[in-house]
Amino acid sequence: MMPLRLLLVRNLREGARNPVLAYALPIIIPLAVLVLVAKTLYRVTELPGFPTTNYAEWMAPAIIMLTAMTGVGYAATSLVIDIQSGFLDRLRLLDAKPTTLLLSRALFDVVRVLPAGAVLLVVGIALGTDLNEGVLGVLLLFVLLTVWAAAYGGLYFVVALATRNAQAPLALAPLFLPLQFLSTQFVPESLLPGWVQALAAWNPFTYMIDAARAMTTGPLTAGPVVEAFAVALGLLIVTHAAARRAFVKAVSGK
């Protein structure tokens, strides 16, 4: 545990030295999407069958989950730099387990997302989102956000470690765009074209959004919550198993 704590402190210190890149950047895109969409497209709520009259309230829970997807990636780039600079070798010489470095970077990915989620929650409330499920709902929301961020961040680690290219994770950044449109973020499932409904059912982000809505505006039922955690944890296991394998391979010099 000690080496992990030391390395996490190292990451937090680096983040504090560069707060704009580390903490402000993940906020910008979700904030822009939420405010712009709520202020320009609000009349979609007049469509028959739209479940709320406040479009910001419809969007805010989805956008909070979106912070996970705009916030991760930085850590994967940093990890490749640690390998290339020889810093990883230095840690190995000091007899620290290499996977501790991977874990410390992955944890920092999540740490970066939480303030962004909090800011978006506050902005969402300011735009009229009701927290009908109270503290329990918000707590669950942030636990899910943590797992989702770690799971989605795993993708970046896989790409970064497989290519050993610090810039490669940047190519993954636009992935959140199709995932947004092929989900229930903008309109309820009933208003999506049939083929999008089919894709949305396979889109993990859809499950995050549906659960986030259940946890904030409600109603909080077991179904979407259990499904979302199952999807996020499943993805977490898959991406991090792959990331770990790629990392061990990179460390052994293969």
Partner 1 sequence: MLGKRYEAQAAAVDALADVSFTVEAGEVFGFLGRNGAGKSTTVRILTTLLAPTSGTARVGGHDVMEEPSAVRQMIGAALQEAALDELMTGREHLVLAGRLVGLTKPAAGERADELLTAFGLSGAADRVAATYSGGMRRRLDVSMAMVRRPPVLFLDEPTTGLDPQGRRALWQHIADLRSEGTAVFLTTQYLAEADELADRVAIIHDGRIAAIGTPQELKDRVDVTTVRLEVGAASRATAAAVTGDRSGVPAMLARLAAAGVEIERLAIMPPTLEDVFVKLTGSEIEVSAGLGEGGSLSAVRRGLGRS
Q: Cβ distance 32 to 10 under 8 Å?
A: no
Amino acid identity of residue 51, one-letter, is P
The binding track of 50-89 with respect to partner 1, each residue x by CB under 8 A or -, is: --------------------------------x--xxx-x
Measured CA to CA, the distance from residue 234 to residue 221 in angstroms comes to: 21
Residue 252 makes contact with partner 1 by CB under 8 A: yes
Measured CA to CA, the distance from residue 108 to residue 7 in angstroms comes to: 10
Closest separation between CB of residue 161 and partner 1, Å?
Answer: 18
Tokens matching residue 34: 């939420």
Residue 13 C-beta-side C-alpha neighbours within 13 Å: 6
Measured CA to CA, the distance from residue 177 to residue 46 in angstroms comes to: 25
Q: Which is nearer to partner 1, 91 or 209 (CB)?
A: 91
Query: Cis bond leading into 48, ω under 30°?
Result: no
Q: Which is nearer to partner 1, 89 or 130 (CB)?
A: 89
Q: Which of these segments, 28-36, 93-101, 144-152, 234-242, binds partner 1 (CB under 8 A)?
A: 93-101
Q: Which is nearer to partner 1, 86 or 234 (CB)?
A: 86
Of 29, 63, 96, 123, the one binding partner 1 (CB under 8 A) is 96
The binding track of 2-41 with respect to partner 1, each residue x by CB under 8 A or -, is: xx--x---x--xx--xx-----------------------
CA distances from 117 to 38, 112, 148 (A): 17, 9, 12
The site for partner 1 (CB under 8 A) is made up of: 2-3, 6, 10, 13-14, 17-18, 82, 85-87, 89-96, 252-253
